[in-house]
Amino acid sequence: MTMIYKIAPGELWREAEARGTFEGALIDVEDGYIHLSGADQVRETAARYFGGVDDLVLVGIDADRLGDALKWEPSRGGALFPHLYAPLSLADIAFARPLLLGAHGFHLFPADIP
């Protein structure tokens, strides 16, 4: 299983749980795909785009279940990031855990996340 991750605002994730699918945050909707991160990218994503933000959910996704809707595409810096060109079914997630905010605005990742 290849794990990839989504950091989602808590309110949006709770709405997705009620519907059974996650359509994405505003930036995802605007860009036409759901922005995801690989294991080696998720901490930097949290620091860069969610620094100091509370009430987040870290969603672990089994990339192997997403099929052709998942594309690994280069970012502006050239690194390949996973992008999902479909709604995310909650059936395809491995877990959803609170991403707690620690001291100095840094998020506290679960120990089992590389």
Report whether pLDDT(90) > 80. yes
Residue 97's H or E segment, with its range, is strand 93-101
All domains of the chain, ordered by start, with CATH?
A: 3-108 (3.20.170.20)
Unique residue bearing structure tokens 């795909």: 33
Report whether pLDDT(114) > 80. no
pLDDT at 68: 97
Contacts of 112 (CB under 8 A, 6+ apart): none
Tokens of 33: 């795909």
pLDDT, tens digit (0-9, with 9 covering 90-100), for 48-80: 999 999 999 999 999 999 999 999 999 888 889
Calculate the alpha carbon distances from 16 to 6, 59, 85 in Å: 13, 12, 17
pLDDT, tens digit (0-9, with 9 covering 90-100), for 1-21: 899 999 999 999 999 999 999
Taking Cα atoms as reference points, which of 26, 112, 43 lies closest to residue 35? 26
pLDDT at 111: 85
How far is it, in rounded angstroms, from Cα 28 to Cα 7? 12
Question: Please, which residues bridge with residue 70 across strands?
Answer: 84
How far is it, in rounded angstroms, from Cα 31 to Cα 47? 21
